[in-house]
Structure 1
Amino acid sequence: MSAKLAAFLNEAPIADDRLSFEPIIKHGHQDLVQSIAFNDYGDRCATGSVDGKIRVFNRHKDGVWRHCDNWTAHGGEITELEWLPPTIYPNLLASLGIEGRFKLWAEDPYAAPGRRFSNAMGLNRAFSFWTQPASQGGTTQQQQQQQQQTTQQTTQQHGSRPGTSTPGGPHSHGVPPGQPQNNSSTPKPVFETRNQRSPYRSFSMKHVDSTRHTYLALVSGDGKLTVYENEQPENLTDYTMLDEVAISRIVPPAQRGEETTVKVQFDPNPEVCYSALRAGVPSDTLSLVTVAQDCVRIYRSRDVISQSLGVQTVTKGFYLAVEVPVGIHRGLVRDVAWAGGNIRGYDIIATACQDNMVRVFRIDTPVEMQTWYTKDDSDNEDPGSRGWSRREMAGYAEKARKQGVEVDEGRSAAIRAATKDVTTTTGGRRITGLPGQIRHTVTEVSRLEGHKTPVWRVGFDDDGVVLGSVGDEGQLIQWRMMPNGEWAKSSELGIVRVRMATG
């Protein structure tokens, strides 16, 4: 053993000629690949093509990507794909088509390869809930059996009928638990929704492991942001609308043939950065960045009181935390990305613009010290040596009231907002001084000019220190954050046109 170790130390190890990571060259699509998404572990990849088909690949221990499943998900091109965290069982894949339909696909781990996500009557049935309205005065067991037999006969003749919903709201295409299995191989998603006013153009999902809540943000072509919440991961069809916000400025609508763009993305960090917590942002706040034409905004949520039939409930409402000043982007913003790793104490976002520029912004939450918060000059004791007494708290609260500042006397932000909450009627959701609304600032850190053509995509790594961008010229440029906070070009990867592999 010692001889082998000595030989190894004296001689340099021979590098393995075979790469530990192989690219997906033979993707199998018969058309152009429009979207691609990796899971959190990086060992699963989903690709969506213009012909509406999704193909899933798994990376094995030898580094080779092998085909797992493929199915027709949409009637047209697939614009966006996203994996949900692997902590949710089963594995979920979300997709958005050019027709404006959002679909959620669940994987059946017991199905054979090639039918894991397209098992229309298998696993999806276990996660769909369907109820029949009871007749007046109740039903007997015999009547229930007759209704079930009638439903089965109708289903065998006409097939399953998708559920309906109110205009603009979500509706799921579930399968009744008592329905027999259909021989049709048409893939059915576990959840599907569309907007009847305007088609959806972008989406983002966020799952909170501590509360097991899943949030879905959808942006329609008319610039409306809609956020839904799912409190039960076992029921993938139960989504409740939290809020709806207009993310675009008041401008004339786009003319026929005029290009438009909308984007949305949740904050990928599991928690809010510590500087925002010090400024008063709640720890369970939802944060997202939106794009509408050249307008880039960041929204955060706060507790809002809603009253129905005399009962008050606490929900989440969004307010405009900060907006990138007008005039910085000299064209349409194609894409936006939110960096992870907010342990640095501030947030970072990047935008891909039509003016050939990649811009990086820094989001801060300054803590403003009020005059009523300072102690008297006669008190020379170290402020951190002891706590505040009841008498001192009452005195400072009285000083604050004289200066017209509202003081929290033990009430939560939701309760304080109950008496004067006008979030749902404020245009643009700008900060109006309501409890829970924290002032933010945005600063342009770097303006990167590596691309000579319009930029289409930007994305950060998990730590938020490497930024990638792709332009029309077919080059992938990587930017790295310097110690002073600015960004510089790190590497460049050129894309060579080759013959499409369809095998």
Structure 2
Amino acid sequence: MSKAAAFLADPPTADDRPSFETIIKHGHQDLVQAVAFNGHGDRCATGSVDGKIRVFNRHKDGSWRLCDTWGAHASEILELQWLPTTIYPNLLASLGIEGRFKLWAEDPSAAPGRRFAESTRNGPLITIPSRSPHLHANPPPATGFGSPAPPAPPPSSSTYADNTTTASAGSGTTVAAAKPAFETRNARSPYRSFSLKHLDDSRTTYLALLSADGGLTVYENDRVENLAAFTLLDELSTIPGATTTTATDDGAGAGAGAKARPVTTRGEETSFKVRFDPNPEVCYAALGAGVPADALGLVVAVMDRVRVYRTRDTIRSSLGVAAAWKGFYLAAEVATGLHRGLVRDVAWAPGNIRGYDIVATACQDGWVRVFRLDALRPPAGEEPHSDDEEQDGARGRWAAGRVKKHGARRRVDGGEDASVSRASLMSSSGIRAGLDQSRGTVERRATGQPPGQIRHVVTEISRLDCHRTPVWRVGFDDDGQILGSVGDEGKLMCYRQKPDGAWAKSTEMAMVKMKMAAP
């Protein structure tokens, strides 16, 4: 008998003092689909195919103990994410395969089983529209930024108790179900991925949602005390050649009747991922190229295509009143055909002190690819934000800096000049912004677009095939120095960057069945 056969037949006995922590049983009755740790690493949430979420807390003795478990979704849970512990220590976000995004708020004083499920005791369930209220000519909400959730439909025999307001039990009694503090869904196409980002300086939280038709919707919340204060920031399509519609200044959606081209055919396997740039500010090289310091970054993977989006400062006018606004544009795209399979996961590396950004992808073809993202400087003689030197009608939409300069000029000047300047601002911003806002075009590219869109270039620096099986997950550590990936064989591979900039395998971890010696 070979050594391998003997090992499989009789696992070796571990030492009396093992160098690893004992793996606890998660307690789910089905496959665990999602796992998420909070920022401190002392709380862990697991999501199962049966739609249940279990939260574990790590105690001072190093042991993990169950904190709460509840039915969050009617079917499998795709993604979980803890919100930043600095501002939201007890908030957990989840996304189910039915397309509902939910926020769960913990009540430490509640009994086990109700800590995350009694979030509506202090008020009604609040929802936000999945699309702009002007897009489908829907009436605006009655009050505030959201509106009370519509009443739940009557339960049917095929409805799970965990996803309804009340469900009839076998004895005829009603059982209360888990209610999130906040939820939203897309009426046209279910959401398949989400990402959250919080900026401590501006106290603003951003939420990005990617739907199955390739639509990317981004919300912002600048009121941390109100979970329902999400407003639509931008909406676009991430599919080349597909049309997308959004609100215009006059309240009519341009091309509202247009339908996006389907991403896949019926029965075809799909993959969608979206991730925010985790860095609070862009790297110094991008700043020199003209990217605003507070610009947002998104990496989106739809099927086998990977795209990077940035924001630029613009203004949006409504009834002649101009307001600062962040608009997304396509900054860079990975060459078509580079990924020979579905892109299962994407990750944006924290710690951009290198002067460039790093993005990693996990592909079904068995390769982990690492890309370098650089911002290109404008041509010689052209400043990044020279549009404020132009005439009012020479360039497209205004930048935020131009609005500030016009405001200062109105305060300094007086009389007729001030009124003329004010009228010029209102007319030009309203008409031009209205034309720019009619985004019934196929997509947004940096070439030939208004100023403020900085071109980026994506360069593949490493291609790693250590798994030799389809890769499902990829992620960086908090410093962006270690890259980890998990493949079909169940091994965790860790990579580090070499002095020449390439990435190489450094560690391999796998789970092995071993006999634990009795104490």
TM-score for both structures, normalised by structure 1: 0.75
Q: How many residue pairs get matched?
A: 411
1:163 aligns with 2:183: no
The question of whether the paired residues in 2 share the 8 Å contact of 1:335 and 1:456 is answered with yes
RMSD: 3.2
Shift of 1:330: 1.2
Shift of 1:490: 0.7
1:242 aligns with 2:233: yes
1:287 aligns with 2:286: no
The question of whether the paired residues in 2 share the 8 Å contact of 1:120 and 1:186 is answered with no
> Cα 1:412–1:28, aligned 2, differ >3 Å: closer, same or farther?
same
Structure-1 separation of matches of 2:462 and 2:444: 28
Shift of 1:309: 1.8
2:373 alignment counterpart: 363
Shift of 1:306: 1.8
Structure-2 separation of matches of 1:409 and 1:245: 21
The question of whether the paired residues in 2 share the 8 Å contact of 1:22 and 1:64 is answered with no
Where relative contact order (Cα < 8 A, 6+ residues apart) is larger, the structure is: 2
The question of whether the paired residues in 2 share the 8 Å contact of 1:24 and 1:65 is answered with no
> Cα 1:414–1:65, aligned 2, differ >3 Å: closer, same or farther?
farther
- In structure 1, runs of 5+ residues without a counterpart are 1-15, 131-160, 165-172, 176-182, 374-393
1:206 alignment counterpart: 197
Cα displacement string for residues 116-175 of structure 1 (whole angstroms, at most 9, x for unaligned residues): 1122544xx269679xxxxxxxxxxxxxxxxxxxxxxxxxxxxxx8338xxxxxxxx9x9
2:415 alignment counterpart: none
- Please point out which of 204, 215, 232 is paired with 1:224: 215
Q: Percent identity?
A: 61
Shift of 1:35: 0.3
- Please point out which of 335, 339, 344 is paired with 1:329: 339
Structure-1 separation of matches of 2:303 and 2:296: 23
1:37 alignment counterpart: 36
* Pairing 1:69-468 to 2, within 5 Å after superposition: 69-89=68-88, 91-122=90-121, 125=122, 162-163=149-150, 185-250=176-241, 253-368=263-378, 370-371=380-381, 411=402, 418=429, 422=436, 424-425=438-439, 426-431=441-446, 432-468=448-484
Supply the AA of the counterpart residue of 2:228: T
> Cα 1:497–1:264, aligned 2, differ >3 Å: closer, same or farther?
farther
The question of whether the paired residues in 2 share the 8 Å contact of 1:90 and 1:108 is answered with no
Supply the AA of the counterpart residue of 1:276: A
Structure-2 separation of matches of 1:239 and 1:468: 33
Shift of 1:371: 3.8
Cα displacement string for residues 249-300 of structure 1 (whole angstroms, at most 9, x for unaligned residues): 2376412111111110001111111111111111111111001111100101
The question of whether the paired residues in 2 share the 8 Å contact of 1:305 and 1:414 is answered with no
Cα displacement string for residues 62-105 of structure 1 (whole angstroms, at most 9, x for unaligned residues): 11111111100000010100000012245110000011110000
Supply the AA of the counterpart residue of 2:294: D
2:57 alignment counterpart: 58
Supply the AA of the counterpart residue of 2:462: S
2:503 alignment counterpart: 487
> Cα 1:497–1:47, aligned 2, differ >3 Å: closer, same or farther?
farther
The question of whether the paired residues in 1 share the 8 Å contact of 2:313 and 2:400 is answered with no
Shift of 1:495: 3.3
> Cα 1:31–1:497, aligned 2, differ >3 Å: closer, same or farther?
farther
The question of whether the paired residues in 2 share the 8 Å contact of 1:127 and 1:236 is answered with no
The question of whether the paired residues in 2 share the 8 Å contact of 1:249 and 1:295 is answered with no
The question of whether the paired residues in 2 share the 8 Å contact of 1:285 and 1:301 is answered with yes
Supply the AA of the counterpart residue of 1:427: V
Supply the AA of the counterpart residue of 2:64: W
Structure possessing the higher radius of gyration over alpha carbons = 1
- In structure 2, runs of 5+ residues without a counterpart are 1-15, 128-147, 152-162, 166-173, 242-260, 407-424
Structure-2 separation of matches of 1:18 and 1:185: 45
Structure-1 separation of matches of 2:193 and 2:382: 45
> Cα 1:163–1:22, aligned 2, differ >3 Å: closer, same or farther?
farther
Shift of 1:409: 12
The question of whether the paired residues in 2 share the 8 Å contact of 1:303 and 1:413 is answered with no
- Please point out which of 488, 492, 504 is paired with 1:472: 488
> Cα 1:366–1:116, aligned 2, differ >3 Å: closer, same or farther?
same
